[in-house]
Structure 1
C-alpha cells in the first residue's frame, strides 16, 4: 500500500454503521488532511439523529498489525492495511462477527498510534476514516473534489448460509444461516462543507454493499462527508421478573421480560422514515428471541413480539426520553400489533393466549 502522507493517526471505531462524508464543491483553500482534522470534520458533519453522533469515539490500542477499540459490548479491530478486513465482534462471544473490507481506492496504510480515536486511510481525492463506538463503528468517506468516485463498495464476509439484505427503508442487514441478524448498516447520510444534505443510498450486489454519494451536483461545497454506520446489537441485557396479579386485575400474574435496549436501538426508535423503526423492531425481536427464548414460561410470544416492536417503533414518541427498560409482559392480551400500539405498547391483561 502507498504511504504518500506518511504516518496517519488511528482513532476509535465502533462498528455499528459505515459513514461516508461528502462536502460541496467550492473554490476554497486546500483543507487540512491530517488525521485529527479529518476526524473532527467527520464528527462535525454527523447529523444529531445519526448513530453515535452524541458519543465520543473509543480510544484505540495497537494489537499486532491492527488497532482495537474495546467497549463493554463490542470489540472493533481495524487493520493498518486497508486491503484487510475490519471486524466487529461481541465481547460476550458466541455470536458471528461482522467483517467487511474498505473500498478499493488505492488507499495508503494507516499507522497505529496508541491513544488515537480513529484510523484514517488516505488517497488522492478521498479519506476513509474508521471510528469505534460503544455499540458500533462509523466508516466515513470524506470526498475532496468532483474527480472522486460517487460509488464506494464494501465487500462483506457473510456467515456460511447467511445473506446481505436491503430493506425498503434504506437499511442493510447481514444475517446468518437461520436468518438472524449479525449486524446492520444504518440508513446512510451525506453532507457537504456547508451542511447541505446530499442524496446517498445503499445497493446490495451479492455480498457487497455499494454506497452511492451524488456529490457531482451544482453548488456542492467540498469536502463532502458521507456515513454508513455499522451496528452490532439492539439488545444490551435482559432480566425476567415475576409479576403478581393486582387487586383490579389490570395486571395479571405472570413473567415480565425487562429488556435494556442499546443506544443504537434507541437511535432507531421513533424515526420519521415510513416503517423504518418497525423494520428495526422485527430484527431486534429475532435477536432477543435467539438470546432469551428459554426464559419465563415461553408462552404468549405473539403479544411479547408486538410489545417489543411497539417499543422500538414508538418508545421515544410515547415517553419523550430514554427509559431504563422495555417491559414485555407474557400475561397481556394478544390481539394485534395495532391493538398493542393503541395502548402505548401495554394492552390490557387477560384474553386468549396463543401458544
Structure 2
C-alpha cells in the first residue's frame, strides 16, 4: 500500500515533539545526519494528505465471521463483536478487560456490512455510523451528510465494575480499579469533504463521551472518528531474526494497526494535547510489551537497551517508518542520540 510522504516541515515537527511539550516548527538542515534546528512558529497537519496514512481509507479491519446478526472476531490476544441491532461494539482484551461502546440513538438502523465496516444510518438526521474492529482495538466512523446532521454525538461506554473514564492532559483513557490504563482513546479528529481537518473535541460526562464537531462550512460530507486501542504490540509475531543482514540479526516488532492510527492522530493533528511522545502513556505500554518479550530478553543485553529504545521511538514518530509491517531494531548499530537516529531513518550508522 502506497503511503503519502509528509513534507520536511511536518517530518521535523514530529521529531521535535519528542523533546518539547510545546510543538514548534522545525527544519532539518542536514538530512544526512545534521542537527535539528527550531524556531517559534507552530505547525500541525491541516489536511489528510499531510499524513503518512489516510485515516479514512488506509485503515484495515480485522478478519471476522458474519453470523447474520453480528460480526465476530476471535484472535489470540482479543475478541470483539459488532451487533447489527444495537450498533454496539463489544471488545475484550488479552487480560479479559471488557467494554461495550455504542452511539445513543434509537433511530440508528443497520444498513449493511461493507467488507467488515458495519454501517448504521439515521435517515431523518442524515448521518451514518460505521463500526470497525481493528487489530488491537476498534473505532466508530461518523459521516455527517449535511448541515442538518447532528454536530454532537453521544458515545455510551458500558464499563465493568471498577473501570472508569479519565482525562489527563487532554488525552482520554479507560482505567481499571488500580488506576492502570486498559484502553487508550484516540485524539478526536474530523475532516470535511476536501480532507481539511476541522475543529472537534470530546466532553466527558459520567460513562459517556460526547464528540462535538464545530463546523459551519458547506463541504459535506464531514467525517469523524473515535478510536479505542487496547493491546499495542503483537507479541506472537514479534521475534528475533538471526539471519538478517548476513547474520547480524534484528529484533522485529509488530505494532498493532490501532496503535499506529492512534499515534498518527495524536502526534500529527494537535498541539494542546501533546507532550513529549517518548513519555506518553501508550509509548510506555508499548515499550513494556517489547522488553517483556522472551526474544528481547535473550538477544538484547542491558547495555544495548538505550539504543534499541531510541530506534523503537524513532519508528513510532518517523512517517517513513511507522507503517512498515515490522519495526526492525538492531543492537549492533552504533549508540547515537535520538535525533541522530531519526535523521538516519531509524538506522544509525
TM-score by length of structure 1 reads 0.60
**Distance apart, 1:151 and its partner CA:** 1.4
Q: How many residues align?
A: 281
- CA separation of 1:196 and 1:292: change in aligned 2, threshold 3 A: closer
Give the number of the structure with larger relative contact order, counting CA–CA contacts within 8 Å between residues 6 or more apart: 1
- How far off its partner does 1:212 sit? 0.5
Contact persistence 2:142–2:223 (CA under 8 A): yes
1:227 equivalent to 2:225? Answer yes
The residue aligned with 2:65 is 61
State the shift of 1:197 in Å.
3.1
Kindly indicate which of the two structures has a greater share of residues assigned to helix: 2
* Alignment check: 8 A CA contact 2:192 2:220 kept: yes
Aligned-partner Cα distance in 1 for 2:149–2:162 = 35
Distance verdict in 2 for CA 1:46–1:158, change over 3 Å: farther
How far off is 1:326 after superposition?
A: 4.8
Give the Cα separation in 2 of the matches to 1:74 and 1:58. 11
Cα distance change on mapping 1:303 and 1:165 into 2, 3 Å: farther
TM-score (norm 2): 0.61
Q: Is 1:130 matched up with 2:131?
A: yes
Any idea what SS the aligned residue of 1:310 has?
A: helix
Q: Which moved more, 1:148-157 or 1:278-287?
A: 278-287
Structure 1 residues 258 and 118 mapped into 2: Cα distance closer, same or farther (>3 Å)? closer
Q: Within 5 Å, which residues of 2 pair with 1:238-257?
A: 238-239=238-239
Q: 1:262 — aligned with what?
A: 256
Partner of 1:142, secondary structure, is strand
Note closer, same or farther for the CA distance 1:235–1:58 as it changes in structure 2 (3 Å cut): closer
Matched position secondary structure for 1:141:
strand
Q: Which residue is equivalent to 2:83?
A: 79
Whether the 8 Å contact between 1:260 and 1:324 is mirrored in structure 2 is yes
Displacement of 1:52 in angstroms is: 6.6
Residues 256, 276 of structure 1: alpha-carbon distance in 2 compared, 3 angstrom cutoff: farther
Q: What displacement does 1:98 show?
A: 3.9
Deviations 1:113-159 (A, max 9, x none): 6x743222222112222123344433122223333332112122334
Residue aligning to 1:175: 175
In the alignment, is residue 286 of structure 1 matched against residue 289 of structure 2? no
Partner of 2:153: 152
Instruction: Name whichever of 175-184 and 339-348 sits farther off.
Output: 339-348
SS at match of 1:283: helix
- Supply the distance in 2 between the matched residues of 1:72 and 1:236 (Cα, whole angstroms): 10
Q: 1:332 to 1:66 in 2, by over 3 A?
A: same
Distance 1:303 1:159, change over 3 A: farther
Instruction: Describe the SS at the equivalent of 1:235.
Output: coil
Deviation at 1:288, TM superposition (A): 4.5
Larger Rg: 1
Alignment deviations for residues 180-217 of structure 1 (CA, whole Å, 9 cap, x no partner): 432233222222334443211122223322110113x1
Partner residue of 2:141? 140
Do the aligned residues in 1 keep the contact of 2:119 with 2:128 (CA within 8 Å)?
yes
* Maintained 8 Å contact 1:88/1:97: yes
Which structure 2 segments of 5+ residues have no match? 1-46, 243-247
Residue equivalent to 1:202 = 202
Conservation of the 8 A alpha-carbon contact between 1:151 and 1:212: yes
Q: Once the 2 structures are TM-superposed, how far is the Cα of residue 96 of structure 1 from its aligned partner?
A: 1.6
Conservation of the 8 A alpha-carbon contact between 2:253 and 2:290: no
**Separation in structure 2 between the aligned mates of residue 308 and residue 179 of structure 1, nearest angstrom:** 29
Task: Evaluate the alpha carbon distance shift between residue 329 and residue 55 of structure 1 in structure 2; reply closer, same or farther with a 3 A threshold.
Answer: same
Match of 1:97 in 2: 98
Question: For residues 177 and 287 of structure 1, what CA distance do their matches in structure 2 show?
Answer: 21
State the distance in 1 between where 2:303 and 2:178 align: 22
Q: 1:80 to 1:107 in 2, by over 3 A?
A: same
Deviation at 1:258, TM superposition (A): 4.9
The 2-side partners of 1:129 and 1:321 are apart by 23
1:271 paired with 2:272, answer no
CA distance in 1, matches of 2:332, 2:280: 18
The partner residue of 1:236 within 204, 226, 234 is 234
